[in-house]
């Protein structure tokens, strides 16, 4: 017996998914794509042509008017549907049942429920945006001194990162501006004595915010050691409730990505969060002279119910001043 080679069908993933959903054999027609590749529109056209031919053959009594309309709207070929009406007539519920039992498309199979830590994050962020009136202030900072300082200490303090330096700067700033170190519980504004700075850490399935407790009482090297330990625990899923509790303010640093600036979402019950973009070469004008330096964009989001614009602007300005202050950075190693 002579055996003919099986035709190899070249088709896009979307075309294959559509054909499977509609019960169409791709080997029965040619595609309009490059090298005869079958694309989704070819499948839809073929289905419509087949549907039109079959519907002309089927007697009018085969399907109810509503079932025909549903089939037309949903692009369902009536010859694929088993009728449950009198004499096998197709009624609307038959179309509905066919659609529910159809093989899911690739897009549907890629769906997954929102659950676990992803659900917790979604609920918390939704609550924050829905219930907290966010205001975001942004400022471009000359980070040249910050970069020079970190470069100068690399040999002796290789584990100190920009995040560690920024946490130290934030801790001093929060101590200087206690009106920012607050939270709102029902109708009560709570001012906090402790300066606990959280840092947003990306993990495989979401985001966590471990907290540096009493950051204002720690040196940069102590902060660097703690952040390293917390990031390691976060990545291994070993953070404890203590590691995640009593945060007063959050730092979200995306400086390692190609992001100049963004509007961070407040991490309740906190009242403010600082977003940090990347450090990049930039132009600065001083005394009518142009120089090349390193810029950094800071974005402060705050809860306008408990923090007003003026103190928030002063707080952000103070952070800018510390970043641009080489003498403070040098003193901070021992503070």
Annotated catalytic sites, by residue? Answer: 304
Distance spanning both ends of the chain, measured CA to CA: 90
Give the number of other Cβ atoms within 10 Å of residue 57's Cβ.
8
Longest dimension (CA), the chain: 93
Alpha-carbon span 326 to 153, nearest angstrom: 13
CA-to-CA dists, residue 196 to 45, 67, 215, 295, 312, angstroms: 62, 64, 6, 27, 18
Alpha helices in 246-324 (DSSP H): 309-323
Alpha helices in 154-276 (DSSP H): 162-176, 220-235
Encoded tokens for 168: 């130290």
Secondary structure E strands in the chain: 134-142, 182-185, 188-191, 197-199, 201-203, 206-208, 211-212, 249-253, 272-276, 280-286, 289-303
Encoded tokens for 53: 């031919």
CB of 284 closer than 8 Å to CB of 290 = yes
């Amino acid at each position: 017996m002579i055996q003919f080679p099986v035709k190899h069908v070249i088709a896009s993933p979307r075309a294959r998914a559509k054909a499977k959903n509609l019960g169409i054999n791709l080997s029965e027609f040619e595609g309009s794509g490059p090298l005869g590749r079958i694309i989704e529109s070819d499948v839809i056209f073929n289905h419509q042509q087949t549907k039109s031919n079959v519907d002309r053959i089927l007697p009018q009594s085969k399907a109810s008017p509503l079932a025909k309309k549903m089939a037309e709207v949903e692009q369902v070929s009536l010859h694929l549907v088993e009728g449950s009406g009198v004499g096998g007539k197709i009624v609307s519920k038959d179309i509905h049942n066919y659609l529910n039992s159809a093989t899911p498309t690739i897009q549907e199979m890629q769906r997954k429920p929102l659950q676990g830590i992803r659900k917790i994050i979604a609920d918390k962020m939704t609550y924050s945006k829905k219930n907290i009136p966010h205001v975001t202030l942004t400022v471009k900072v000359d980070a040249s001194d910050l970069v020079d300082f970190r470069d100068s200490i690399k040999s002796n303090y290789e584990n100190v990162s920009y995040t560690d330096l920024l946490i130290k700067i934030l801790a001093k700033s929060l101590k200087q501006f206690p009106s920012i170190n607050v939270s709102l519980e029902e109708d009560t504004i709570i001012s906090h004595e402790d300066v606990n700075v959280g840092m947003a850490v990306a993990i495989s399935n979401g985001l966590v915010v471990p907290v540096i407790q009493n950051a204002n009482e720690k040196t940069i090297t102590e902060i660097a050691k703690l952040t390293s330990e917390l990031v390691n625990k976060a990545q291994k899923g070993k953070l404890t409730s203590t590691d995640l509790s009593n945060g007063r303010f959050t730092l979200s640093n995306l400086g390692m990505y190609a992001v100049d600036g963004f509007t961070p979402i407040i991490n309740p019950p906190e009242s403010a969060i600082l977003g940090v973009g990347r450090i990049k070469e930039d132009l600065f004008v001083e005394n009518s002279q142009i120089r090349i330096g390193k810029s950094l964009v800071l974005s402060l989001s705050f809860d306008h119910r408990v923090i007003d614009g003026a103190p928030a602007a002063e707080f952000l300005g103070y952070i800018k001043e510390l970043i641009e202050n080489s003498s403070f950075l040098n003193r901070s190693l021992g503070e």
